[in-house]
Structure 1
Amino acid sequence: MGIIVAKFGGTSIGDGKRIKKAARAVVKEYMQGKKVVVVVSAINKTTDDILEIVNRSIGEAITEKQMADIVSMGEITSVRVFSSTIESLGVKSEYIDPHMEIWPVITDSNYLNAKIDFAETEIKSREILKLLDQGVIPVLCGFLGKDREGNITTLGRGGSDITAFLLGHCLQAEEVIIVTDVGGVMSTDPNKLQTAKKLDKISVEEMRDLATHGAQVLHPHALRYKDPKINAKIIGFEHGDLSAPGTEIMGPSKDKMLRSTTLNNEPISVIAVVGEEMLTKVGILAELTKTLQDNNINIYGISTGQNSITLFIDRSEADKAHEILHEVVINSPDMSSLSLGREIAMISVNSQDFIDTPGIITKITAPLRKNKINIVEISSSQTSVVIFVDWNDGKRAYEMVRRVLE
């Protein structure tokens, strides 16, 4: 019998009616022969209410240890209500919280943003397997952990999603199901565009990038625990059915690690187009990129300045790009000239941890500065940093950056 880990967000168990609906969905899977582990968040707005009380009563005098202990009450209440609801439907269930000996999620003592002790958590998760073998549906607190001294910790943002994927991995589950207030992952925010459509599938890499840029469906931190062998999907609570279609999360791909550094194999050439106050002129960038597209020339990167646009092109196509872009420049009243620059190397650094790592660009570039390696250009997003250096410095720079990431 396969194991399902089902995580219910705060909105999906926002009141008694929704809790019963969720419990019935769990029991339905159980009656069909599945072993189900439930992870629940705090009931909708419970944590916000607790934080407001803490702020008015204690304020800044509260310690991190006290805060973790107090905010845990939301999840500690949820598991008791949810487990009792399952039992009211005639199925054995047990709630599990960090105060209990069998609690599986072990962390360090960073109370409000704890780091998971993966090895210890895998060992402790065996207790959950024993309950499943006894025909019990375990209901666990999302978001919470416990340090080696028995103190309650919290996993930070996206904590309940982390709990679900972590347990899915440790229990070698068949599937992890994230139940939310939306029917899956949408092509864009449906509150902003009514034409938004639900995606049937999305890769881990796409989901991570979408989440880091503001999508609220799933926290990117949780995806580091997504096992490629385990199915995963996001569904809406309104179905009341864990087998309902939603958005399937694919991967991660074995060749796309969560943390990586790459160096392009061939040199890249720089083409700089200049013109007075180019950034204030509409359509210039589109004209340049459309010209290259029409000639099947790929662009590795674009950098813009007040009076210039820099394009990074494969060296083998640089002369052709230079020639065709020259025709665009001399026929444009807004562009004055262009130049074909030196050969450079492109180093790409990717990690989902960047979004929560202050000073990451400084850490990456510091060894280059110390070794007098000039950076021709640098660009970044929330999960990646791309550095361009002289081709002759490429391999040295790559090794230095890779050591920083390791």
Structure 2
Amino acid sequence: MELIIAKFGGTSIGDGKKIKKAAQSVVNEYMKGKKIVVVVSAINKTTDEFLKIIEDSLGSNVSDKQMAEILSMGEMTSVRVMSSVIESLGVKSEYIDPYNELWPVQTNNNILDAELDIEESETKSQEILKLLHQGVIPVLCGFLGKDSDGEITTLGRGGSDITAFFLGHCLNADEVIIVTDVNGVMSTDPNKIQDAKKLDKISVEEMRDLATHGAQVLHPHALKYKDPLINAKIINYKNGDLSEDGTEIVGPFEGEMMKTTILYPEPISVVAIVGKGMLKKTGILSRLTTTLAENDINIFGISAGQNSVTTFVNKKYSMEAYHLLHDMVVDCGELSSLSLGKEIAMLTLESPDFIETPGIISDITDPLRDNNINIVEISSSQTAVVVFVEWEDGKKAYELLKEIL
């Protein structure tokens, strides 16, 4: 019998009518012979309202324990309402919160940003299967956990997505359905570009990167728990139909690829172009990159200052790039000169945790400084840091930096 984890975000259960529509969609799938576990967030804006009340009444005089207990009331209310509405539609349901002996989500003691205790949670989750075998629809709080002392913990913003995918993993579910306020994953934010199109499919890695860079559809850490055989999709609550297509999330989570340190095996050369106020001239960067692209020369990195642009290319193509860009400098009045630098090494560090790790740049630069390794250039995104050092220091830098992840 097919097992579904259906997670309803706060917007999708934002009022009584939406809750009833959500409950009806669950019952409809149940009546098709499917087993369903429901995960719910706090009703729309509830968590934000709690945070505002805490700020206005307590300010900083609130402990982590108090904060977690207060915030948990949003999900505690949601499960009770949702379970009651499901029962009103003729199907037995049971709500499960952290005070329930069947509660499966166990965490460490980091109360407001807890990490899952995977082994313990997998064991506890088996109790949920007993309810499913009895024809009961369990409704669980998203976002919340319980530590070894029995205290309520929270999984951080987006924690309900983590709950849904993690339960899917623990219960060997066939599908995880994320019910939200969009039709699926769009080509871009439809509030900004009206012609945005819904994607039929998106890979786990693409979804993770999109979420990490600010898309609010799904929490990126949730995808850690997408098993290869579990289907997953994102759908809109408005249709009240869990069987609609939405956007399918394809593929497993490639855990070992998520945290990597790579030393590029070949030397890189620096070509630097200077020109006073060059960045005020429209099209300089476009002309530079087009010149190299038309000659099949890949750019590994580019940095721009007020009066200079530095490009990083493979050393074996550096002389060709040097001559091509020299011709561009001669033809362009805004540019003055260029130079070809010495061999350097390129190291790339990637991790989804970088975005939530204060001080990650200093964690990278400090060991290099302590070992007298000069950084030629450094660039970063939300999930990657690229460091260029002198070629002779490349292997030593790699040995130092791979310990960071």
TM-score by length of 1: 0.96
Structure 2: gaps spanning 5 or more residues: none
- Asked whether the 8 Å contact 1:96–1:138 carries over to 2, the reply is yes
In the TM superposition, residue 148 of structure 1 has moved relative to its aligned partner by 0.9
Superposed CA RMSD in Å reads 1.5
- Residue in structure 2 matched with residue 206 of structure 1 by the alignment: 206
- Residue in structure 1 matched with residue 383 of structure 2 by the alignment: 383
- Residue in structure 1 matched with residue 398 of structure 2 by the alignment: 398
Secondary structure at 1:53 match in 2: helix
- Asked whether the 8 Å contact 1:224–1:258 carries over to 2, the reply is no
- Asked whether the 8 Å contact 1:263–1:398 carries over to 2, the reply is yes
In the alignment, the residues of structure 1 paired with residue 365 and residue 225 of structure 2 have an alpha-carbon distance, to the nearest angstrom, of: 29
In the alignment, the residues of structure 2 paired with residue 119 and residue 342 of structure 1 have an alpha-carbon distance, to the nearest angstrom, of: 51
- Residue in structure 2 matched with residue 87 of structure 1 by the alignment: 87
In the TM superposition, residue 19 of structure 1 has moved relative to its aligned partner by 0.9
- Residue in structure 2 matched with residue 361 of structure 1 by the alignment: 361
Within-5 A mapping of 1:228-243: 228-243=228-243
Within-5 A mapping of 1:186-201: 186-201=186-201
Q: Which amino acid aligns with 1:85?
A: V
In the alignment, the residues of structure 2 paired with residue 135 and residue 263 of structure 1 have an alpha-carbon distance, to the nearest angstrom, of: 54
Closer, same or farther: CA 394–255 of 1 in aligned 2, 3 Å: farther
- Residue in structure 2 matched with residue 264 of structure 1 by the alignment: 264
In the alignment, the residues of structure 1 paired with residue 61 and residue 361 of structure 2 have an alpha-carbon distance, to the nearest angstrom, of: 34
In the TM superposition, residue 56 of structure 1 has moved relative to its aligned partner by 3.3
- Asked whether the 8 Å contact 1:272–1:308 carries over to 2, the reply is yes
Q: Which amino acid aligns with 1:81?
A: V
Secondary structure at 1:114 match in 2: coil
In the alignment, the residues of structure 2 paired with residue 193 and residue 211 of structure 1 have an alpha-carbon distance, to the nearest angstrom, of: 18
Instruction: Write the deviation string for residues 94-127 of structure 1: whole angstroms up to 9, x where unpaired.
Output: 1100001111111122221112111111111111
- Asked whether the 8 Å contact 2:344–2:391 carries over to 1, the reply is yes
In the alignment, the residues of structure 2 paired with residue 292 and residue 78 of structure 1 have an alpha-carbon distance, to the nearest angstrom, of: 57
In the alignment, the residues of structure 2 paired with residue 339 and residue 255 of structure 1 have an alpha-carbon distance, to the nearest angstrom, of: 42
In the TM superposition, residue 23 of structure 1 has moved relative to its aligned partner by 1.1
Tell whether 2:158 aligns with 1:158: yes
- Asked whether the 8 Å contact 2:96–2:103 carries over to 1, the reply is yes
Instruction: Write the deviation string for residues 53-97 of structure 1: whole angstroms up to 9, x where unpaired.
Output: 333333322211011111111101110111111111221211100
Q: Which amino acid aligns with 1:63?
A: S
In the alignment, the residues of structure 2 paired with residue 49 and residue 336 of structure 1 have an alpha-carbon distance, to the nearest angstrom, of: 58
Within-5 A mapping of 1:277-292: 277-292=277-292
Q: How many residues align?
A: 405
- Asked whether the 8 Å contact 2:3–2:174 carries over to 1, the reply is yes
In the TM superposition, residue 253 of structure 1 has moved relative to its aligned partner by 5.8
Secondary structure at 1:59 match in 2: coil
Q: Which amino acid aligns with 1:177?
A: I
Q: Which amino acid aligns with 2:302?
A: I
Within-5 A mapping of 1:34-45: 34-45=34-45
In the alignment, the residues of structure 2 paired with residue 44 and residue 118 of structure 1 have an alpha-carbon distance, to the nearest angstrom, of: 29
- Residue in structure 2 matched with residue 184 of structure 1 by the alignment: 184
- Residue in structure 1 matched with residue 316 of structure 2 by the alignment: 316
In the TM superposition, residue 302 of structure 1 has moved relative to its aligned partner by 0.5
Structure 1: gaps spanning 5 or more residues: none
Instruction: Write the deviation string for residues 362-404 of structure 1: whole angstroms up to 9, x where unpaired.
Output: 1122111111111111100111101111222212211211111
Instruction: Write the deviation string for residues 273-321 of structure 1: whole angstroms up to 9, x where unpaired.
Output: 1111222221100000011111121111111111111111112222221
Instruction: Write the deviation string for residues 1-28 of structure 1: whole angstroms up to 9, x where unpaired.
Output: 2221110001101111111111111112
Q: Which amino acid aligns with 1:240?
A: G
Secondary structure at 1:125 match in 2: helix
Work out the percentage of aligned pairs sharing the same amino acid. 69
- Asked whether the 8 Å contact 2:226–2:253 carries over to 1, the reply is no
Instruction: Write the deviation string for residues 103-157 of structure 1: whole angstroms up to 9, x where unpaired.
Output: 1111122221112111111111111122112221111000001111111111111
In the alignment, the residues of structure 2 paired with residue 52 and residue 272 of structure 1 have an alpha-carbon distance, to the nearest angstrom, of: 51
In the alignment, the residues of structure 2 paired with residue 33 and residue 261 of structure 1 have an alpha-carbon distance, to the nearest angstrom, of: 47
- Residue in structure 2 matched with residue 97 of structure 1 by the alignment: 97
Secondary structure at 2:157 match in 1: coil
In the alignment, the residues of structure 1 paired with residue 202 and residue 399 of structure 2 have an alpha-carbon distance, to the nearest angstrom, of: 33
Within-5 A mapping of 1:297-308: 297-308=297-308
TM-score by length of 2: 0.96
